[in-house]
A and B are shown apart, each in its own frame.
Chain A
Amino acid sequence: MATAIPIATQRSATGIPTGKLALWWVIGSEIVIFGGLLASYLMMRLMYDSWSDAASHTNTVAGAINTFILLTSSLFAVLAHDAAERGKGPQAAGYLLLTIGGGLNFLVVKAIEWTGEISHGFTITTNTFWSFYYTACGLHGLHVIGGMICMGIIAFDAVRGKNLQRVEYIGLYWHFVDIVWIFLFPLIYIAK
């Protein structure tokens, strides 16, 4: 009973598969969450000139490396989708594992970066800039971790050729996480 899929799930009045449609709405709701956070950051950043002093201590090199890593991992997500389209489950799973590897790399660089910041005395309570820095990057990091876990589950299925359509969906999500970083990087690391 629990495994029976309702007729409702199989209908597609819009022509978009149900899972993909729902994923777009998930991304939509995530955009407003990050949108609210970044808009608050921007308003206060414009209000207080002193924030540029605080911002000058961010590690731009680490941020740049992470941008490169995330963009590369997105490439693997695209390749995984391509393999899934051609019905090659194990190959798609392989590319997904590479994407997860990219996410892991990202987190390692982030950990090194944060250790450096904290050891220099810049913690989340130092001032409001650093509060935003840790909150925004932390929220983004949680999305990276969540994406990696889902990707692991999907890769596990994909090896056996199950639920291959989900490879595309997780790819969409991963690109979204990527784009959030594309906004975070200039706003927090480059703007000094």
Chain B
Amino acid sequence: MATQGHAAAANGHDAHGHGDHHELSFVQKYIFPLDHKIIGMQYLFTGILMGVIGALMSYAFRMQMAFPGKAVPPFGLITPEFYNSMVTNHGSIMIFWFAMPVLIAAFGNFLIPLMIGCDDMVFPRVNRLSYQIFLLSAIVLIASMFVPGGGFGGAWTSYPPLSASSVYNQTPYGAPMWLFAVALEFVAFLLGGINFITTLMNSRAPGMKMYNIPIVIWMIIIASILFMASVGPLIAGAVMLLFDQTIGTGFFDPVRGGDPVLWQHLFWFFGHPEVYVVLLPAMGIVAEVLPVFARKKLFAYKTVLWTAIATGVLSFVVWAHHQFVAGIDPRMANIFTVTTLLISVPVTEMLFVYIGTLYGASIQLTTPMLFAIAFIAEFLIGGVTGIFLGASGSDIYFHDTYFVLAHFHYTFIPIAVIAVFAGIYYWFPKMFGRFMNDFWGKVHFWGTAIPFNGIFLPLFYTGAAGDHRRSFDLLNFPELRQPNLIFARQFATISLLVMLGFQVIFFINFFYCMFRGRKAGANPWNANTLEWVAPSPPPHGNFAELPNCHRGPYEYSVPGRESDYWPQNEPAT
């Protein structure tokens, strides 16, 4: 970290307006920063910490699934209440406090100003506020697990009537605190999203036209717009549910004239676009990594951009495929089946474009490239199994089984784990000015990718055989006591332990290389985008001189040029 202060001092001549570059105290710089890069780091580290907590929760309940009734060190015997609370908070944390802060807030904050060539976000103080609200929401959520009655256990979807009354959910404090934490998190991301969108619209480097913006920036912005357009009804719904829980209204209580299915509509109207809110930035990270290590232009830039926008639009009309068994009109189920199958078209198109980028390329299998390619392969499995669930006929059979669980983990783990690792290994030299160790990176890659399949492939099988998602002890059902099902569950759990174990290598590699890694220059990967013009790590204000943009971001191996890359800021000669 000392290098950052040094680089800031070296930038003292300062051609662009920060007249007073006096040294900031530690508290000003790292605790209450205005610099987008430090705020991005805060999001990154908070998100990863929450991710670790979420992963430990999965350890607790997977042990219960594989070895029911046995004590799980260090938790002891898992009670049903504890199990429910772990499952609920695992889901909530992984989506709201890990995937979103890391993929959107951390990468968005770090990358947007650097990649569009300006010195900071347009509203640095709003940016800081957004992180502080996010941190508060995380603290409220963690605290909710230690109040009388324990943490909320009504699943991350929080369906009423279970969630609406402490008579049913037995968590008089946990449930409202969970809801309050989620609402705070939404506020943080609304503030951050407005900042992101405004920054991209107004503050691009001179000459950066619409099709010169790197895909990852487009994806983060489209995701922010999707989030903003979809979260409103759920905020309204959260207020209604909070009133149901605390002051006794009956919005979702059928006995008193309310409607529990209304919550499901409000939740999934947000919840399904949310899938694409996290998917698109992951797609964007992969789109940055692939051309650099394939040394080839991204195949069909405009197709990626427009299919991403099409995905965003379609994502608003698919939500009821989560509710095929909730008593919705079968005619409506037909419509939502069609729209759900439709949305797989643009997503598949994006994957085709990525494979097209790899075709005929001179591929360098560095750690980030391995993760990026793994994303394509693994996400494909997640997408294909989604077809079974999007079709209402088969979904009625698969609903709420481990098949569903395996499906969405095959989408979310490539998104939130594999793509995030690709991004971290790729931008680590820019973040800290040093490389991560490539050998241990590859060990970490194989130790993540193989056990990941080991966890969730068996769960497709147990799900199809009838394992129900919301059951505390599957051995209560005689037909689920077959030895092959028990073996599959244990295989999944042991794979999880292996995968968690390999993450230790990542953390050692990360923190060791942060201080001791091999030094990286400004542009270690010979990449084109503007963040590689700035020194590594970039000082306050990012660029010695704010760059201009002259071309698109993916001009690799252009015929007739000596070097195989062509930075965006280099004037044409």
Which residues in A have some Cβ–Cβ distance to B below 8 Å? 1-2, 4, 6-9, 11-14, 16, 18, 21-22, 25-26, 28-37, 39-40, 43-44, 47-48, 50, 124-125, 127-129, 131-132, 135, 139
Q: Is the CB of B120 within 8 A of A128?
A: no
Are A36 and B236 interface neighbours, CB within 8 A?
yes
Please pick, from B19, B230, B257, the residue contacting A127 in the complex, using a CB distance under 8 A. B257
Contacts A33-B236, A40-B240 supplied; 17 other A-B pairs, CB < 8 Å:
A1-B34, A6-B121, A7-B203, A11-B203, A25-B197, A25-B228, A26-B194, A32-B232, A36-B232, A36-B236, A40-B233, A44-B259, A48-B257, A124-B243, A128-B250, A128-B251, A135-B240
Main SS of the interface on chain A? helix
Indicate whether A131 sits within 8 Å of B122 (C-beta atoms), given known contacts A22-B194, A36-B234, A36-B266. no
What is the CB-to-nearest-CB distance from A142 to chain B, in angstroms, rounded to a whole number? 10
Question: In this complex, which of B24, B113, B193, B236 has the most chain A Cβ atoms within 10 angstroms of its Cβ?
Answer: B236
* Pairs A-B, 10 closest by C-beta atoms: A36-B233, A32-B232, A6-B120, A37-B236, A33-B232, A36-B236, A8-B203, A131-B249, A8-B118, A128-B257
Closest to A5 in B: B17
Taking residues whose C-beta sits less than 8 angstroms from the other chain, chain B's interface range is: 35 or more
Is B546 interfacial (CB-CB < 8 Å)? yes
Given A22-B194, A128-B251, A128-B256: A7 and B16 interface contact (C-beta under 8 Å): yes
Contact indicator A9/B228 (Cβ below 8 Å): no
What separation, in Å, do the CA atoms of A30 and B233 have in the docked complex? 10
Q: Specify the chain A residue showing the minimal Cβ separation from B266.
A: A36
- What DSSP secondary structure best describes chain B's contact surface? helix
Within 8 A of A (CB), among B160-194: 190, 193-194
Chain A residues with CB under 8 Å of B231's CB are: 29, 32
Which B residues contact A (CB, under 8 angstroms)?
16-20, 22, 24, 28, 34, 113, 118-125, 190, 193-195, 197-199, 201-204, 228-237, 239-240, 243, 247-251, 256-259, 262, 266, 269, 546
> Across the interface, which residues of B come within 8 angstroms of A135, CB to CB?
239-240, 243, 249
A sample of 25 inter-chain contacts (CB < 8 A) reads: A1-B22, A1-B24, A7-B16, A8-B120, A8-B202, A11-B203, A18-B203, A22-B195, A25-B197, A29-B231, A32-B230, A33-B235, A33-B236, A35-B232, A36-B232, A37-B240, A40-B262, A44-B262, A48-B257, A50-B257, A124-B249, A125-B248, A128-B250, A128-B256, A131-B250
Q: Is the CB of A16 within 8 A of B249?
A: no
Whether A32 and B546, one on each chain, are in contact in the complex, defined by CB atoms closer than 8 angstroms, is no
> Complex: how many Å from CA A37 to CA B17?
45
Please determine whether B250 and A127 come into contact, CB atoms closer than 8 angstroms. Answer: yes
> What is the chain A residue whose CB lies nearest that of B196?
A25
Pick from A4, A44, A128, A139: contact of B20, CB under 8 Å: A4
